[in-house]
């Protein structure tokens, strides 16, 4: 850096778009790039492009709070997220990249008897499916988390569900790792190339229109998170997805005192501490539909109130930054990975608050779906038509904090 970055090798080739590809992936976030790498590594010779409207990695993948975990209640979600967590465990070796994968553990607190019962049920379900979960009582927690307000008059902490293999991963590094590895395998990563429309003939998608011209594609895969509805509308489709803002926050750097990820059970607040010392925390959606990548003050106040209720010491820390991302919210809180009703088109979206942790697993499964047309068992439940069939996977009603 002191030499002005001279002599540094670019991580990925800055590609210009070709006239035709076997597969065009729209969206250069974690999901688009993971899909591209899995496709290229599993199918040598396939001509693949990732089209990104700006620079890669500046969407939700570069904006999230980096939590990974596999502690879901519903079997179809738990099976998939466990698959993804296992892929995080080999991510750095598979990609030859240090992404600071840190299985520091995730703790979900409970504050009432009803919540205790729900967490016991969740813990048992996770363990029956082969995942890891451990119930901790207040006495065990008191010793370890001296900075939490156990005796809060309104929300005393009564215990927690510990998920030791959960943790955090450096989000930017995930994007860079996949981009470098995909580019090395010949994938064209085309930045500043916005998709503005689709050419559909006789029910089949033949090409995408972009700000850098027409690009023909045998198959087109959409991985654009909060823009899923907009892209689908260009193909004449209406998805059961709404776009909402989710904010996150980081404090000034402090000496290390939070070892893991902690979720408040009585309000919308979860927190971890980054390796730079910043407290990284977040809460709930702003609560209105939006494509803005920044939120509003009422939610800042709401999240900070949750923080103060759980760990009053945070009131002395200064907030350094806050930001927002566009969440692709499905009506049941679970994702969609499926073929679309237009032939040759595929969708990976509807990740709601939690699509960072799914990036390695979803990229693998989506790549295989694009090639074979058939879903792997891990994603078999994430079909688009479940909203017609009534087979919802309502993890929104069952989901714990944090993300
Ligand atoms: P993105 O990273 O958003 O990538 C989509 C890309 O598509 C963008 O780069 C965008 O520019 C591009 N694009 C859009 N339209 C077009 C177009 N027309 N043409 C070309 N390109 C286009 N998940 C977790 O698992 N753990 C967490 O702790 C967590 N915390 C979060 C906290 C916040 C504040 C936010 C906002 C999200 C959080 N998430 C978390 C969710 C997670 O970040 C997302 O689900 C995930 O990153 C989605 O990845 P993606 O690749 O689908 O989307």
Q: How confident is the model at residue 396 (pLDDT cuts 50, 70, 90)?
A: confident
Q: How confident is the model at residue 98 (pLDDT cuts 50, 70, 90)?
A: very high
Question: Quick one: average pLDDT of 168-172?
Answer: 97
Q: What integer pLDDT is reported at residue 1 of this predicted model? A: 63
H/E stretch holding 94 reads: helix 91-95
Query: How far lies 5's CA from each of 8, 9, 173, in Å?
Result: 6, 9, 18
Calpha distance 281→300 (Å, rounded): 11
Choice between 110 and 4, residue whose per-residue pLDDT is larger: 110
**53, 64, 91, 286: residue to mutate for ligand 1 pocket, most atoms within 8 A of CB:** 64
Question: Quick one: average pLDDT of 329-333?
Answer: 94
Calpha distance 72→93 (Å, rounded): 26
Question: Quick one: average pLDDT of 126-154?
Answer: 94
Q: Coil, strand, or helix at residue 8?
A: coil
At 119-137, the pLDDT tens digits run 999 999 999 999 999 999 9
Q: What integer pLDDT is reported at residue 401 of this predicted model? A: 54
Q: Coil, strand, or helix at residue 389?
A: helix
Contacts of residue 144, defined as CB under 8 A and 6 or more positions apart, other chains included, come to none
Dig out the tokens for 213 from the structure: 């011209």
Inform me whether the pLDDT recorded for 399 exceeds 60: no
Beta-carbon count within 10 A of 294 CB: 12
Q: What integer pLDDT is reported at residue 5 of this predicted model? A: 79
Q: Is 152 buried (19+), middle (13-18) or exposed (0-12) by CB count in 10 A?
A: middle
* Residue 35 Cβ < 6 Å to ligand 1: no
Averaged confidence pLDDT in the chain: 95
Which atom of ligand 1 is nearest the CA belonging to 54?
11
Question: Quick one: average pLDDT of 333-360?
Answer: 97
Q: What integer pLDDT is reported at residue 287 of this predicted model? A: 87
Cα-flanking dihedrals φ and ψ of residue 387, to 5°?
A: -75, -25
Q: What integer pLDDT is reported at residue 213 of this predicted model? A: 98
* Residue 54 Cβ < 6 Å to ligand 1: yes
Query: How far lies 35's CA from each of 96, 182, 192, 352, 373, in Å?
Result: 17, 9, 19, 19, 15
Identify the residue whose C-alpha is closest to ligand 1 atom 12. Answer: 27
Calpha distance 174→358 (Å, rounded): 12
Question: Quick one: average pLDDT of 92-97?
Answer: 98
Q: What integer pLDDT is reported at residue 152 of this predicted model? A: 83
* Torsional class of 355: left (φ above 0), alpha (ψ -120 to 50), beta (otherwise): alpha
* Residue 250 Cβ < 6 Å to ligand 1: no
> What's the angle, vertex CA 212, arms to CA 207 and CA 218, rounded to 5?
20
Q: What is the DSSP string of 313-352?
A: GGGGSPEEEEEEEEEEEESSS--EEEE-SSBTEEEEE--G
Inform me whether the pLDDT recorded for 398 exceeds 70: no
Question: Quick one: average pLDDT of 370-393?
Answer: 96
Q: How confident is the model at residue 2 (pLDDT cuts 50, 70, 90)?
A: confident
Cα Rg of the chain (Å, integer) = 21
Q: Give the distance (Å) from ligand 1 centre to CA of residue 356.
A: 8
Calpha distance 113→140 (Å, rounded): 17
Which atom of ligand 1 is nearest the CA belonging to 31?
51
Q: What integer pLDDT is reported at residue 9 of this predicted model? A: 86
Q: Give the distance (Å) from ligand 1 centre to CA of residue 349.
A: 9
Q: What integer pLDDT is reported at residue 400 of this predicted model? A: 56
At 210-251, the pLDDT tens digits run 999 999 999 999 999 999 999 999 999 999 999 999 999 999
**29, 210, 330, 361: residue to mutate for ligand 1 pocket, most atoms within 8 A of CB:** 29
């Amino acid at each position: 850096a002191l030499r002005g970055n001279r002599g540094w090798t670019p991580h990925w080739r800055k590609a210009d778009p070709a006239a035709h590809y076997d597969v065009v992936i729209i969206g250069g976030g974690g999901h688009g790039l993971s899909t591209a790498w899995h496709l290229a590594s599993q199918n040598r010779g396939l001509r693949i492009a990732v089209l990104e409207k700006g620079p890669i990695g500046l969407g939700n993948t570069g904006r999230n709070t980096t939590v990974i975990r596999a502690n879901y209640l519903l079997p179809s979600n738990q099976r998939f997220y466990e698959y993804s967590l296992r892929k995080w465990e080999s991510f750095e070796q598979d990609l030859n990249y240090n992404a600071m994968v840190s299985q520091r553990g995730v703790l979900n607190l409970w504050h009432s008897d009803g919540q205790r019962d729900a967490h016991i049920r969740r813990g048992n379900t996770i363990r029956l499916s082969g995942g890891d979960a451990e119930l901790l009582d207040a006495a065990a927690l008191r010793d370890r988390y001296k900075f939490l307000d156990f005796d809060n008059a309104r929300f005393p902490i009564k215990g927690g569900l510990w998920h030791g293999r959960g943790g955090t991963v450096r989000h930017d590094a995930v994007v860079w790792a996949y981009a470098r590895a995909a580019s090395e395998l010949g994938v064209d990563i085309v930045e500043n190339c916005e998709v503005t429309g689709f050419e559909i003939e006789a029910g089949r998608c033949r090409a995408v229109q972009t700000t850098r011209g027409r690009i023909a594609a045998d198959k087109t895969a959409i991985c654009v998170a909060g823009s899923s509805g907009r892209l689908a509308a260009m193909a004449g489709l209406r998805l059961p997805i709404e776009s909402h803002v989710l904010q996150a926050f980081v404090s000034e750097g402090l000496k290390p005192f939070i070892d893991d990820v902690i979720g408040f059970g009585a309000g919308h607040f979860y927190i971890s501490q980054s390796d730079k010392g910043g407290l990284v925390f977040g809460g709930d959606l702003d609560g209105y539909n939006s494509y803005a990548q920044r939120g509003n003050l009422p939610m800042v106040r709401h999240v900070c109130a949750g923080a103060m209720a759980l760990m009053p010491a945070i009131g002395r820390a200064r907030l350094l930054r806050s930001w927002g991302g566009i969440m692709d919210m499905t009506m049941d809180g679970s994702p969609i990975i499926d073929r679309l009703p237009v032939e040759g088109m595929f969708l990976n979206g509807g990740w709601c608050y939690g699509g960072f942790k799914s990036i390695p697993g979803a990229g693998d499964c989506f790549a295989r779906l694009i090639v074979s047309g058939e879903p792997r068992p891990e994603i078999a439940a994430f079909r688009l038509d479940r909203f017609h069939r009534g087979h919802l996977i309502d993890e929104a009603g069952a989901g714990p904090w944090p993300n």
